[in-house]
Amino acid sequence: MKVEGRFASPLPPNESDVDQTALGECPSPAPDGRELVVRLNLTTTLESSLAGEVTLSTSPIVGPLVSFVMGFKEGARCEGGEPKNAEASFGSVQPGQSVNFTMWVVLPDAITPADPHPSEHALAADLWLIGVPAPLVNGKGIGTPNKLSGPRVVRCRTEDFGLAGYEHYIAVVGDTPTTLHESECPVA
């Protein structure tokens, strides 16, 4: 399975192509004009000899990142309101077939009275991170991606049973450091 994602720049909702009705249905924190949205275009290619039902599960990790507007074929829908996974279903995918899915990551309270037009550099200080999308084929995980690359991949040093290791996350906005110190790492 090959998964590629491309983030757009953070924009106020009225300047983006997010479905305004779906965004307005997002649960707490409800949209209040202080949020930004970041479009994420995902492409998944099934590199198997057999067809399968393909799903990607994406989880919010750090900060108040609690909602995703999902661009389903039957219409956009907001998922979130609490730290939980958002799932993008690609349906039945044939061997070698690539399928696309668009979602928008909602950054609540990113706009403040002190910074009504935050730059990506200013937003990066809040460490807006999401979990690495976990691909599922026919409802079963296929394991950790064996190749993870790109300018928004963030390594976070962790301690696991006394052994030092690294967890990987994806930065929603640019200018996020690619390596985080243990004190900055997400708490599972």
**pLDDT tens-digit profile, the chain (188 residues):** 888 999 999 999 999 999 999 999 887 667 788 899 999 999 999 988 999 999 888 776 555 566 889 999 899 998 875 556 788 888 899 999 999 999 999 998 899 999 999 999 999 988 888 888 888 889 887 765 667 888 899 988 776 655 566 788 889 999 988 888 877 877 65
Q: Read off φ and ψ for residue 59, nearest 5 degrees.
A: -120, 140
Amino acid letter, 10: P
Query: Which pLDDT does position 81 carry in this prediction?
Result: 58
Give the global pTM.
Answer: 0.86
Question: What confidence score (pLDDT) does residue 65 get?
Answer: 61
What's the confidence (pLDDT) of residue 84? 63
**C-alpha to C-alpha distance for 45 and 180, rounded to whole angstroms:** 30
Provide the pLDDT for residue 20: 94
- What domains are defined for the chain? 2-145 (2.60.40.10)
Please name which of 179, 148, 149 lies closest in space to residue 166, comparing C-alpha atoms: 179
Residues 6+ apart with CB under 8 A from 28: 66, 81
